[in-house]
């Protein structure tokens, strides 16, 4: 009987050791899984926080992009990639007509001078009109959508209220643009 009790104790002891060992192995395994899940949760939480911050900045960034885009479009309008001589002369002539100034002659430079990143195209022009008319014309040139500068001006009195002015103007092109002289269409007669 004592042998049976010892045998029972040994079996109970072995069962307790197996139970305790299994328990600690299971607990350790679950603890590692828990640590891994907790670590993943923290990483995902950080990513979510960053994503929310980006999402909050999206509207502001989109607004800034639209502003920059509008400025870029305005800059391209002010500094086009090339000059079409006919368009430029038509625009200047239109401003002269509105201002009451008469263009006597217009002498464009033969080519664009490269200024590194942009080109400068100069032209000489003689105009006539009243003092206020010439001032309006110069203001109109200054307010053109594209950049046109008056480099020099020389004014002479011709008659009592009539002046002539010799102007040297510069128009600018972006990049390595140039002047486009439009060719006249040739017509053939039959």
Domain CATH for 160: 3.30.70.60
* 169 contacts 149 by C-beta, under 8 angstroms: yes
Give the domain extent around 173. Answer: 83-180
**Are 73 and 87 within one domain?**
no
Which among 53, 78, 103 is the end of a domain?
78
Place of tokens 């072995």: 14
Give the Å distances, CA to CA, from 78 to 2, 98, 144, 146. Answer: 110, 21, 8, 4
**Are 69 and 124 within one domain?**
no
**Are 169 and 105 within one domain?**
yes
Q: Whole-angstrom Cα distance, residue 150 to residue 125?
A: 10
Question: Consecutive sets of 10 residues in the chain, 190 residues long: mean pLDDT of each?
Answer: 72 84 81 88 92 84 90 78 77 92 90 80 92 93 87 89 91 65 48
- Measuring CA to CA, which residue among 87, 103, 107 is closest to residue 137? 103
Q: Does 111 reside within a domain?
A: yes
Query: What's the pTM value of the predicted model, to 2 decimals?
Result: 0.56
Q: Does 65 reside within a domain?
A: yes
**Are 51 and 138 within one domain?**
no
Number of structural domains (the chain) is 2
**Are 70 and 147 within one domain?**
no
Which among 33, 53, 78 is the end of a domain?
78
Q: What is the per-residue pLDDT for 181?
A: 45
Q: Does 103 reside within a domain?
A: yes
Q: What is the per-residue pLDDT for 45?
A: 92
Give the Å distances, CA to CA, from 126 to 88, 97, 105, 108, 120. Answer: 16, 14, 5, 12, 20
Q: Does 47 reside within a domain?
A: yes
**Are 101 and 61 within one domain?**
no
**Are 26 and 101 within one domain?**
no
Which among 38, 62, 78 is the end of a domain?
78
Q: Does 158 reside within a domain?
A: yes
């Amino acid at each position: 009987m004592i042998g049976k009790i010892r045998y029972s104790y040994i079996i109970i002891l072995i069962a307790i050791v197996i139970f305790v060992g299994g328990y600690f192995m299971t607990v350790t395994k679950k603890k590692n899984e828990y640590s891994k899940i907790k670590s993943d949760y923290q990483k995902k939480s950080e990513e979510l926080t960053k994503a929310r911050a980006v999402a909050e900045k999206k509207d502001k960034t989109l607004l800034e992009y639209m502003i920059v885009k509008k400025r870029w479009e305005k800059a391209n309008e002010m500094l086009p990639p090339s000059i079409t001589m006919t368009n430029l002369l038509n625009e200047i002539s239109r401003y002269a007509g509105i201002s009451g100034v008469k263009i006597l002659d217009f002498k464009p430079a033969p080519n664009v001078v490269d200024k590194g990143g942009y080109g400068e195209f100069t032209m000489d022009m003689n105009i006539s009109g009243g003092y206020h008319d010439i001032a309006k014309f110069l203001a109109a040139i200054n307010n053109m959508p594209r950049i046109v500068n008056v480099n020099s001006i020389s004014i002479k009195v011709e008659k009592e209220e009539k002046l002539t002015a010799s102007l040297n103007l510069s128009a600018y092109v972006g990049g390595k643009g140039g002047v486009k002289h439009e060719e006249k269409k040739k017509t053939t007669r039959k």
